Chains A and B, each alone.
Chain A
Amino acid sequence: MATDTRVILICSGKGGVGKTTLTANLGISLARQGLTTAVLDADFGLRNLDLLLGLENRIVYTAQEVLEEECRLDQALVKHKQESNLSLLPAGNPRMLDWLKPDDMKRIVKMLKEQFNYVLIDCPAGVEDGFKNAMAASQEAIVVTNPEVSAVRDADRVIGLLNTNAIKPVQLVLNRVRPKMMANQEMLSIEDVTDILALPLLGLVLEDEQVIVSTNRGEPLTLNSVNSPAAKCYLNIAKRLQGEDIPLIDPIEESSGFGSKFRRLMQTKIF
């Protein structure tokens, strides 16, 4: 039995910013570090975590049957083949949304806490009931956002709600960073986003085509493509979560090409 389980809500406000991808990759990375990890799909309306992990064909029972006491927890948990430390608790039927209450989420998480070192909750988009139910069962949170005005604005709403509900720590993951655009100052910088949201940065994730390839295959990047740019970012995030002191990559340094370096030189020397 795990004693000091960490229950982490992965949320964003705005949809499609990369919550589920982060949950899947963090789950794999933590499991690989030898930590027993449960990923809980709390997006009952539009579940996807099973697909990203390639576990969609192995689901027998879901959180719904567990709550209705039609099966035991271990019957519903789907263990990952390659990473046996990782298990998925699938979301039930969308009709669950009609009756699910914060206490139901708390019950599920309480059961998971007995067996796992980490419980990662993949939260639905929005700030309505789905989010509130998931938040009720969480201790800490990772807010995922993109360097875009709408995503940052929505993240701010969510952070406000997390603060009033005493969720802490709340850390930031900035996803879909495009180094070239940042170097050209056509994308909000890392400092812009962390200053505006006033959150510690757990890590950034580079924009990476391989994310789509990995989704097609149902194999998170951190499973088999550990050298892709985004995979390295996810692995670093998992290590930082474990308290390792891993320096951030400077996206502008990463961006190759004479143009951006020259421009930076111009900016620092001339202006």
Chain B
Amino acid sequence: MAMTLRDIINRLLRRQPASASTARERLQLVLAHDRSDLSTELLDQMRREILEVVAKYVEIDVDEGAVSLETEDRMTALVANLPIKRTMTGQIKLKEPKNQSEENSEETEGTDQNS
């Protein structure tokens, strides 16, 4: 495939990500997993369970929630980024944790309201 002028300019201006930064990002990700010994499936299961627990207390945006492993200086941290839904007035929506049976019925109500 021939290089367009834009490609050439991009290359000259180094707009294309150079391979070193790709290497760095790929390494950081693979090492986080290597160091933790957690498989992607286990990590995903943990992510879902964490989201479930947190969702009991605050309304969170489940689709946006991310749980990841990050490493710095050989320390691995479990980092959860869980965007909280806000009310029209900008307040955080808090839920009252209920006992088991009530809570289940409330959860169904909640989803009904949403849909």
Contacts and interface: CB of A to CB of B under 8 A. Distances in A.
Interface stretch (A86-94, A97-105, A116-124, A182-190): A182-190
A124 B19 CA distance: 30
A88 B99 CA distance: 73
Nearest to A181: B20
A153 B35 contact: no
B86 to A, nearest CB: 36
Give the bracket for the number of chain A residues in contact with chain B.
20 to 34
A192 B31 CA distance: 13
B21 interface: yes
Interface string B1-44: 00000000000011000111101101110110011000000000
A196 B14 contact: no
Nearest to A184: B18
A153 B31 contact: yes
Contacts of A107: none
B36 to A, nearest CB: 11
Nearest to A196: B27
B90 to A, nearest CB: 37
A196 B70 CA distance: 11
Interface string A178-206: 00001011111100100010100000000
Contacts of B34: 153, 156-157
B21 A185 contact: yes
Contacts of A184: 18
A196 B24 CA distance: 8
Nearest to A160: B35
Contacts of A192: 20, 23-24
Contact of A185 (B18, B28, B74): B18
A152 B27 contact: yes
B63 interface: no
Contact of B74 (A152, A198, A263): A198
Interface string A221-263: 0000000000000000000000000000000000000000001
A158 B27 CA distance: 15
B51 to A, nearest CB: 29
B19, B21, B27, B72 — most chain A CB neighbours (10 Å): B27
B112 interface: no
Contact of B23 (A149, A163, A263, A266): A149
B20 A188 contact: yes
A268 interface: no
B96 interface: no
A179 B72 CA distance: 26
A266 B13 CA distance: 8
18 contacts: A149-B27, A149-B30, A153-B27, A153-B31, A156-B35, A157-B34, A163-B74, A182-B20, A184-B18, A185-B21, A186-B18, A192-B24, A196-B24, A196-B28, A263-B14, A266-B13, A266-B14, A267-B14
Interface of A: 148-149, 152-153, 156-157, 159-160, 163, 182, 184-189, 192, 196, 198, 263, 266-267
Given A185-B18, A188-B20, A198-B73, 20 more contacts: A148-B23, A149-B26, A149-B27, A149-B30, A156-B34, A156-B35, A157-B34, A159-B74, A160-B35, A184-B18, A186-B18, A186-B20, A187-B20, A188-B23, A188-B27, A192-B20, A192-B24, A198-B72, A263-B14, A267-B14
